[in-house]
Every structure is written in C-alpha cells, then in structure tokens.
Amino acid sequence: MKPFNRRVRASLLDANLQFALDANAKRRITVRQNAFASLPGAEQMRHRAHAVRLEVIDHLDEYLEQFTRNLERNGVIVHRAADAAQAVQIVLEIAHAHGVQRVAKSKTMVSEEIGLNPALEAEGLQVVETDLGEYIVQLRGEPPSHIITPAVHLRRQDVGRLFHEKLGIPLTEDISVMTAAARKVLREVFLSADMGISGVNFGVAETGTLCILTNEGNGRMVTTVPKVHVALMGMERLVPTLDDLALMLALLPRSATGQKITVYANLLHGPRREGEPDGPGERHLVLLDNGRSAVQRSELAEILCCIRCGACLNACPVFREIGGHAYVGKGGGYAVYPGPMGSVVAPALFGQAEFGHLARASSLCGACAEACPVEIDLPRLLLRVRAGQVGRPEERAQAKPNAPWLLSLGLRLFRWAAVSPGRFALAQRLAGWLGRAAPGGWLRLPALTGWGLSKDFPAPARQTFHQRFAVRTASALGQAAPAAAAVAQAEAIPAAPLGIAYSLIGRFEQELAALGGVSVRCSEAELPGRIAALLREKGVQAILAWEDSALPGGLLDGLRLQGVGVVHPRAGNKWEDAQLRAGLTGVIAAAAETGSLLLTGGPGRPLNASLLPELHIAILRQEHLLPGIADLLVHPALRASAAAVLVSGPSRTADIEMTLTIGVHGPGELVVFCI
Amino acid sequence: MTETIQLFVTCILDTLYPQVGEAVVSVLERCGVQVAFPAGQTCCGQPAFNAGLRGEARPMAQHTIRTFEQAPGRVVVPSGSCAAMIRHGYLELFAGDADWLPRAQALAARTFEFSEFLVDGLGVSDVGAVFDGTLTYHSSCHLLRELGVDRQPHLLLANVRGARLVELPGTQECCGFGGVFSVEQPAISSAMLERKLDNIQSTGADVVVACDSGCVTNINGGLRRGGRSPRVVHIAEILAGVGR
C-alpha cells in the first residue's frame, strides 16, 4: 500500500483523531462564517484582496526590490535564499556569529519547509518552539498537523499525558493548568534565548514593515527579548501598502480563527535604536525562494496569493476525515503544507512526481475556494496538478496527467465511445443488457472497484433516454401548461443602515469588552488614585512603566505618592523586569472598530512594559481614538518607530481542543484608562 | 411564439435514469416550452477532465460543442456539475485555444441548469406539482458553488403542494462523490458519504431531493448498501409530480 493510502487508513480508524478533526471542522467553520457575517462588504473585500495579491505576484521582482530597499534603510539585514539549504546556512551563520546557544522560535511554516530545527540541533543549538500548539508537537517529535493550529489532531488527554511525562506536572485534564505549565517553562526560554526566530505574515513593500501576528504573545517575545531576531519569510508574502495590510488584517484572523483581529500585530521596522530600552540589537530577514520564482511563471502561480490562514483546511471535507499528517509524498515524507492549499503548494514547490497525487484526493467540492479570503480558485489549481499542467503555459503540450493507469485506460475507452454517437449507443445497449441480470435493479460491485467498498450501483436502464425520447416524439405534445405563477423578482436588498450614530469611545469600550479587556473612563487628575486602587486590589506593589515623558504629566509621581514602586525597564535587566506583575504604558492611538491600541517602541516607551507583566495598564487619551485599523497603520509615529504593536485584548490561545484560554505569554489582563 | 430549448440530458440520466429525463421534459413542457433533443449528444467530458486527462476530455467537449452548434436556442442541463463543466470547465479546457475557446464560450453563454432555467430563465416558481410527504434538500457542490444556484431549487420545492420541506443538517457538505474521486479514494469517499447518510436519517424526511444525478447515484448507492431509507430523487421527479 502506498504511504498516503496507509496514512488515510490509519486516520480513518483513529477514533481520537476523528473526534478532534470533527470538532475542529464544526467549530472553525461556524466561527468563520459568523465573523464574516458581521463584516459589511466582505465579498468586495475578498475581491480586492485577490487583486492586491495578484498584483504582487505579477510584479514580484519590483515589489521585492522596493521592500528590500526600505528594509535596509530601516536597518534590517536582508538575506536572499535561493533554496532551503541556503536559508538554513544563513541562519546558522548568524547564530554562530553571535555565539547563540539557545533559540526561541515562534510559529513559522517556512522553517518547517526548510527543515530548520533539525539543522540547528545538529550544530548543537537548543531550539524551542514557543507557540503552545507548536511546543506540544515539538515535545511529541512530530510536525504540525495544521498550519494554524499545529496540535489540532490531539485531545486534551493527549496533551495532559505529554506534559505529565515531559514536564513532570501532575496528570491533568484542565487546559488552563496545562497552559500555565507551558507558560512557566517558556518564559524562562524567552528570557534566556540568545536568538529569536519568527515567520512573517506580511511584508509591506512601501514601508519595509514586517507584520507578525500572534495571539499568545510569543511572537512578540521572540522578536523583542533576545538580542538577535531572525525573521523567515516566503518571498511572495508581500502587500504593496499599509492600506493593503489593513485589508489583510481584517480578512486573515476572521478566516483563521473567526477573530475580528489577532491579539497582537507586531509591526517591525528595524533593530533597537540608540537610546531605546528594548528590542534586538540586530534584526535579520531571510527571504526564501525555494521554487517560488518558478511557480510564479507557472500555471499554478495563483497559489502564491495564499496568505496561510488555514480556512481551506478547516472547510475541506477530506481534511476533516484524514487530518494533516496524512498528506505525505510517494516516499512517505510530509508535504509540510496539508489540506487543499497544501495539495497545490507541495507539488508546486517540492515536485509533482512526489506530491502530485495529493491533488487527486479531493472531491472538488469547492468548499476551499468558498472559504478562501483571497479567492484562490483551488479546484481549478487541483485540476491543473492532476493534468500535469504545473509548468509554464508554453510547456502545456508536454503536461503529463498523473491519473492511475487503469483509470486512464478506462477513460480512454470511454472517450473512444463518447465521440461517436453510434458507438456510445452501442455501449449503452450493452450496459442495459448487463443491467437486466441485476437483482432488484442494483449491482453489487466488489470492493476493489472502489465504488463497491460502501455502495451499490444502479443497474443501467433497459431503454436509454435516447430511445425513449425517439418513441415519445411520435406522440402528441404534453397538455397545455398550467398558469405558471410568475416569480417575483428578488427584491433589492436594502443597504445596511449606516446612520447609527455612535461615539468612538462607546464603540471602543464595547469592542474592548468583547475581547476580554476592561475600560475605565476617568479624568487625568483621578488617574493616580484609580490606578493605585487597582494595583492594591491585585496585590501589586511595583510596576514596570514607561517614562514620565511618554505618560500624562505627574502620573508617576502621583503613583509613587500612593506607595507604588515604579521601575523602568533597562536593557540587560530583563530577568528582574520580568518579575514585575503589572506594566503601565501610554497609547499612541486606538481604533474604535476593533478595540485595538497602537503602541510604538522608542526612548522612554519600552514595549516590554506591555508584554512581560500579567497585567497591562494602558492610558488612552480619548482624542487619540480613530475609527479603524487602517487609520492606525498610517499613523506617522508607527512609520517612525523601529518596532510597534497593535494590542487587541489580553493574550490568548485556543491551541488545545480549541478551548479559549486567556493569558499565555503576554498579559492575561488588559485595563485601559480612557482620559 | 413558443420557445424551443435544447435538452442536454447528460450521460448518467440517459443511461441510468431515463425516467428522470422524461420528468424533465414533462416539467419543461408544462412551463410552456418545447423540448428538442439533439440525438448526437453523448458525454460532456467531465469524468476525463476531473481525472486530469485533458487529452481525452477535449474530444468529448468538442463533440458536445459541435452537436449543440447545430441546435439553436437555450440549452438546459438537468445536472449541476455537467452544466458547470460546460459553463466553467470548458473555458479552462480550451484556454488559449483560438479556435475552440470562442465556440466554448458561445455554448457556455446559453447553457443553464434545469432549476436555474425554470426560475431565472422562465420566471417560474410554481410548476403545479403535488407531493404528499416530507422533503429535504441536498445541495450539490458544483451547482451551489460553481453556478451559485441554491435559491432556485428551494423556491421550486417550497411551492410543491402538500410537501413539507425540512432542513438537511450539513446540506452544503459534499456527499463524497466527486466523480473519479469516489473510485480513486473509496475510503475517504465512504467516510464522507457516511456523514451524509447519518444527516439524512436525522431529518426523518420521506425523500431527499438533489439536482445532480452524480449525488443521487452516490447517496442512493450507500443507502441501498446499508439497507437504509429514505431515497434520493432528482428534483425533476418531484416537480413532475412523480416523486414517489
């Protein structure tokens, strides 16, 4: 039996896996549909997103050049890797140059693609995955089974046993206990790692911005805390402008997890600058080709539009039955990218001969294309892989279909009959004659026919429609038509009421509450008293804070008068800083529509104050409220910063059984004082 | 003047379910159109196209295009996936072919699926059908997603006298047919079908209605093998009043 078929059989027989996959499909499909139902103009946004991505793919060289130029101006060291081996070599050289021993990684599928972890480990480096799901599969020694939720194939009992064995914690089925255990282990990893490795969700060409999304906050840790940050990025993951990025930020989280927005959107420009309290001393970007430029010129180019949201995996009825680990090549190696997108990406990037058969494991139902936020016509691409049309359009004549030989033979015979009405009629007559022998009008075919595994086949009719119609034409036409009720034309759907006046602050408070954050309105004069009261309530004596210059005047003195200890983060002091349980920051601007805060790093504005503590207290001036994410992204302070973040609620994960757990690596509580 | 439409009955209906073809004709005639049947028609080529065998699919598509070029007027197809093959598949199949692409486009522009044609093409929502019992509707994938036809069959069924329409849970989930997929990957296909059969059983409906004889064959084949009821019929059988 072929490795793929062996995997399929094993998946179908694994009750635990079936339960997990079923739960995933049900939940993810529903939350995605709900998230899109509440998005006005969603279809137009998808059209636009498709156009934006195609524009990039069609002019990839120009956008890459612009992107690279801007990154370098921002102080990022850019490397181009032609293939996996080069990419690994580049990372190794950076690691050696800095004497790196321990690497903290946030989720990156590109690193799976290039096989980075084993390569680093072979050189004696310790590599720790810090996304909860990714950490779980790393402890199990297996690859992620889903590009967004790596441990989707597991149930809580599996994780409980794993943590008991590997972390030595008592056996538990309580997901929050497991999450807390992982947090504790990984916190130590973040603080002790010499290098952080992350992926990149989007690169913005016009500004040289690296956008990295993370719910748990680990994607902030690995890009902020260690002294070197290396970002890995497929060279096609670009958008031209920040406005386009705003569009993607509206679509990706909704498609991936049904969230309106991801908790943290890191917006990185460069390394730490002179006088800044935190951030890595060096920031590198590895731009990976690994077959992408060839795909760009091929008939599968549209797959490069993919933004890796995982919606097609969740929507796919085949993925739901077999899971991500079943997607293997002829030799049994993982396809890296599973599901519908993976069944195109793997043959496109890693070879038709090895992975082309994956495209045949699809009923072409189109649920993937329906779910795709950038409207990739996945069934069409799957059909091209089946037809062997994986090269350039000019090479189409040499395309070799990958259909099994018996099927090819059968369909060749079928074609021979079907192009001649006479032969076709003869074949039908033969079938009808065979059908007469079928008991009860049904044929019981053997299992090896495929069809016969679980189904009977209806016996062909004695007389075809052709024959019946020929007889019928001789007889009279049917009776007069009844008065058919005219169909009322579909009434124009009234435009959604736009006129509901809302105050920005009201909307902001509502959205923040929906994210699990808390907002408090008060006057500037009340601030020290209110904050001190909150800290007393939480039993917190000292806070990690932004400096006076970046906060309302007199606030820190006011807090000190109330007996609150105020600490400013300093480079090299991260272990002590990480002990503090509350952080105090300002807010550069906020978006009412999503409840998001824009925080930019810089002198006096350490990003760690909003990241390391369990409680994040933010001060927002109401005049800094803007309508949406797009307004935040074009804020001049963002472009001027080396690193910035959009914060939308407390950190969270749903990596174990999709159960929402608040407070992972970032703060578990967010309180915004609106003055 | 009475309109004459060209019926492309599809090879599955022709060979396995000629009575459904007759139901299609009867409904169309009741709605006041004359039905012509180009006798040279065979198969649209979809099985080969979906198998990736474009070299085999092309001659079949060309044969279909030629056959209907001699038959003027709108073309009605009582199968979502065959209609989608002509409307979308042919354009992919003949992409870059200066001779055949325009001919494929011309046929695509006048081709309609049966329920779509009744509602959008003729403006009919009530064909005067009667059915005493409970119906549920399975959405065929290509009809729903490639042609965007969903409202039309629902409207037609809603106006069947005596029929109670119940929602099929997961109606938009694939039944596992997928043409050659069902024989190439029988284990996955069967698992998908099993889910569909369980959902069907949960409705308690007397009859399941679909607009694609591929799904009909697949689901009925599974029901029959498992000794389960009810059964799936093509929408034309209900609309012709011969559903039971």
Is residue B59 situated within a structural domain? yes
Question: Which residue from B47, B123, B178 is facing A411, i.e. has the nearest CB?
Answer: B47
Question: Which residue from A386, A421, A464 is facing B18, i.e. has the nearest CB?
Answer: A464
CA-based diameter of chain A, in Å? 104
B177 touches A at CB < 8 Å:
yes
Cβ <8 Å between A458 and B123? no
* Residue A476 to residue A243: CA distance in whole angstroms: 66
Q: How far is CA A293 from CA A58, A111, A505, in A?
A: 11, 18, 47
List chain A residues with CB under 8 Å of B17: 458, 461
Whether the predicted pLDDT of A489 surpasses 70: no
| pLDDT for position A493 | 38
Q: Do residues B71 and B105 both lie within one domain?
A: yes
B4 touches A at CB < 8 Å:
no
Q: Do residues A271 and A302 both lie within one domain?
A: no
Choosing among A7, A299, A363, A423, which should be mutated to test the B contact, i.e. which has the most B CBs within 10 A? A363
| pLDDT for position A569 | 85
Cβ <8 Å between A414 and B16? no
Q: Do residues A257 and A406 both lie within one domain?
A: no
Q: What is the CATH number of the domain that holds B129?
A: 3.40.50
Q: Do residues A224 and A310 both lie within one domain?
A: no
Q: What is the CATH number of the domain that holds A569?
A: 3.40.50.10420
Number of domains making up chain A = 3
Q: Do residues A175 and A241 both lie within one domain?
A: yes
Cβ <8 Å between B126 and A465? no
Q: Do residues B33 and B97 both lie within one domain?
A: yes
B224 touches A at CB < 8 Å:
yes
What's the distance, CA A49 to chain centroid? 16
Is residue A133 situated within a structural domain? yes
Is residue B214 situated within a structural domain? yes
Helical axes A60-73 vs A42-58, angle rounded to 10°:
90
Out of A85-89, A395-399, B73-77, B234-238, pick the least confident: A395-399
Is residue A55 situated within a structural domain? no
List chain A residues with CB under 8 Å of B91: none
A179 touches B at CB < 8 Å:
no
Would you call A221 helix, strand, or coil by DSSP? helix
Whether the predicted pLDDT of A615 surpasses 70: yes
Would you call A468 helix, strand, or coil by DSSP? helix
Question: Which residue from A5, A8, A419 is facing B59, i.e. has the nearest CB?
Answer: A419
| pLDDT for position B229 | 80
Is residue A464 situated within a structural domain? no
* Residue B200 to residue B178: CA distance in whole angstroms: 19
Question: Which residue from B15, B119, B141 is facing A431, i.e. has the nearest CB?
Answer: B15
A407 touches B at CB < 8 Å:
yes
Q: Which of residues 557-576 of A touch B (CB under 8 A)?
A: none
Cβ <8 Å between A411 and B145? no
Q: Do residues A315 and A341 both lie within one domain?
A: yes
Tens-binned pLDDT, residue by residue, of chain B (244 aa): 799 999 999 999 999 999 999 999 999 999 999 999 999 999 999 999 999 999 999 999 999 999 999 999 999 999 999 999 999 999 999 999 999 999 999 999 999 999 999 999 999 999 999 999 999 999 999 999 999 999 999 999 999 999 999 999 999 999 999 999 999 999 999 999 999 999 999 999 999 999 999 999 999 999 999 998 879 999 999 999 854 4
Q: Do residues B31 and B70 both lie within one domain?
A: yes
When the pLDDT of each residue in chain A is averaged and rounded to a whole number, the result is 93
Residues A312-353: tens digit of each pLDDT:
999 999 999 999 999 999 999 999 999 999 999 999 999 999
Is residue A318 situated within a structural domain? yes
Q: Do residues A571 and A659 both lie within one domain?
A: yes
Cβ <8 Å between B222 and A454? yes
A398 touches B at CB < 8 Å:
no
* Residue B232 to residue B225: CA distance in whole angstroms: 14
Q: Do residues B108 and B139 both lie within one domain?
A: no
Choosing among A469, A471, A479, A493, which should be mutated to test the B contact, i.e. which has the most B CBs within 10 A? A469
Tell me how close the Cα of A290 comes to any Cα of chain B, in angstroms: 26
Q: Do residues A271 and A412 both lie within one domain?
A: no
How much of chain A, in percent, has pLDDT values that exceed 90? 90
Is residue B38 situated within a structural domain? yes
Q: Decide which of A403, A430, A457 is a domain's last residue.
A: A430
Helical axes A378-387 vs A339-350, angle rounded to 10°:
40
Is residue B244 situated within a structural domain? no
Residues A436-468: tens digit of each pLDDT:
888 888 999 999 999 999 999 999 999 999 999
Average pLDDT over residues A20-28: 94
| pLDDT for position A488 | 34
Q: Which two tokens stand for residue A567?
A: 């600490």
Q: Do residues B159 and B213 both lie within one domain?
A: yes
Q: Do residues B86 and B100 both lie within one domain?
A: yes
Q: Decide which of B73, B98, B120 is a domain's last residue.
A: B120
Number of domains making up chain B = 2
Choosing among B28, B46, B54, which should be mutated to test the A contact, i.e. which has the most A CBs within 10 A? B54
Q: Do residues B140 and B78 both lie within one domain?
A: no
Is residue A372 situated within a structural domain? yes
* Residue A153 to residue A657: CA distance in whole angstroms: 9
| pLDDT for position A142 | 96
Answer for the pair A186, A665: CB distance below 8 angstroms, yes or no: yes
Question: Which residue from B47, B187, B221 is facing A8, i.e. has the nearest CB?
Answer: B187
Cβ <8 Å between A12 and B183? no
List chain B residues with CB under 8 Å of A454: 186, 189-190, 193-194, 222, 225
Cβ <8 Å between A386 and B9? no
Tell me how close the Cα of B64 comes to any Cα of chain A, in angstroms: 8
Q: Do residues A9 and A123 both lie within one domain?
A: no
B80 touches A at CB < 8 Å:
no
Choosing among B188, B199, B219, which should be mutated to test the A contact, i.e. which has the most A CBs within 10 A? B188
Q: Do residues B147 and B65 both lie within one domain?
A: no
Backbone angles phi and psi of A374, in degrees to 5: -110, 20
Would you call A471 helix, strand, or coil by DSSP? helix
| pLDDT for position A492 | 37
| pLDDT for position A497 | 38
| pLDDT for position A438 | 83
* Residue A555 to residue A538: CA distance in whole angstroms: 19
Cβ <8 Å between A421 and B126? no
* Residue A474 to residue B4: CA distance in whole angstroms: 17
Tell me how close the Cα of A381 comes to any Cα of chain B, in angstroms: 11
* Residue A358 to residue A326: CA distance in whole angstroms: 10
Q: Do residues A284 and A363 both lie within one domain?
A: no
* Residue A595 to residue A662: CA distance in whole angstroms: 17
Answer for the pair A103, A120: CB distance below 8 angstroms, yes or no: yes
Cβ <8 Å between A366 and B92? no
| pLDDT for position A485 | 36
Q: Decide which of B120, B153, B188 is a domain's last residue.
A: B120
Question: Which residue from A367, A412, A466 is facing B14, i.e. has the nearest CB?
Answer: A466
Whether the predicted pLDDT of A482 surpasses 60: no
A445 touches B at CB < 8 Å:
no
List chain B residues with CB under 8 Å of A356: none
Q: Decide which of A229, A261, A292 is a domain's last residue.
A: A292
Is residue B44 situated within a structural domain? yes
pLDDT band at A256 (very low <50, low <70, confident <90, very high): very high
B183 touches A at CB < 8 Å:
yes
Cβ <8 Å between A407 and B184? yes
Is residue A399 situated within a structural domain? yes
Q: Do residues A108 and A236 both lie within one domain?
A: yes
Is residue B232 situated within a structural domain? yes
Q: Do residues A314 and A276 both lie within one domain?
A: no
In sequence order, what E strands does chain B have?
Answer: 4-7, 34-36, 75-77, 111-113, 124-126, 130-137, 161-166, 207-210, 231-234
- Look at A471 and A145; give whichever has higher pLDDT: A145
Q: Which two tokens stand for residue A192?
A: 């002790």
Cβ <8 Å between A387 and B155? no
Q: What is the pTM of this model?
A: 0.94
Q: Do residues B149 and B223 both lie within one domain?
A: yes
Q: Which long-range contacts (CB under 8 A, 24 or more apart) does A134-142 make?
A: A134/A105, A134/A107, A135/A182, A135/A186, A136/A162, A136/A655, A136/A656, A139/A163, A139/A166, A142/A325
A482 touches B at CB < 8 Å:
yes
Numbers of helices and strands, H then E, in chain A: 28, 25
- The kind and range of the H/E element at A580 are none
Is residue A379 situated within a structural domain? yes
Tell me how close the Cα of B41 comes to any Cα of chain A, in angstroms: 7
pLDDT band at A474 (very low <50, low <70, confident <90, very high): low
Tell me how close the Cα of A373 comes to any Cα of chain B, in angstroms: 15
Q: Decide which of A377, A411, A430 is a domain's last residue.
A: A430
Domain span including residue A166: 77-292
Is residue A466 situated within a structural domain? no
Q: Do residues B83 and B46 both lie within one domain?
A: yes
Q: Do residues A564 and A516 both lie within one domain?
A: yes
Would you call A141 helix, strand, or coil by DSSP? coil
Q: Decide which of B61, B85, B120 is a domain's last residue.
A: B120
List chain B residues with CB under 8 Å of A9: 187
Average pLDDT over residues A87-115: 97
Please report the ipTM that was assigned to this predicted complex. Answer: 0.97
| pLDDT for position A410 | 97
Cβ <8 Å between A454 and B174? no
B101 touches A at CB < 8 Å:
no
Cβ <8 Å between A414 and B48? yes
Tell me how close the Cα of A50 comes to any Cα of chain B, in angstroms: 18
| pLDDT for position A34 | 95
Residues A519-562: tens digit of each pLDDT:
999 999 999 999 999 999 999 999 999 999 999 999 999 999 99
A15 touches B at CB < 8 Å:
no
B181 touches A at CB < 8 Å:
yes
Residues 6+ apart with CB under 8 A from A399: A387, A388, A389, A390, A391, B54
Domain span including residue B71: 4-120
Tell me how close the Cα of A360 comes to any Cα of chain B, in angstroms: 7
Q: Do residues B176 and B229 both lie within one domain?
A: yes
Q: Do residues B204 and B133 both lie within one domain?
A: yes
Cβ <8 Å between B124 and A487? yes
Cβ <8 Å between B48 and A411? yes
Q: How far is CA B36 from CA A346, A472, B6, B21, in A?
A: 47, 12, 5, 12
| pLDDT for position A392 | 95
A417 touches B at CB < 8 Å:
yes
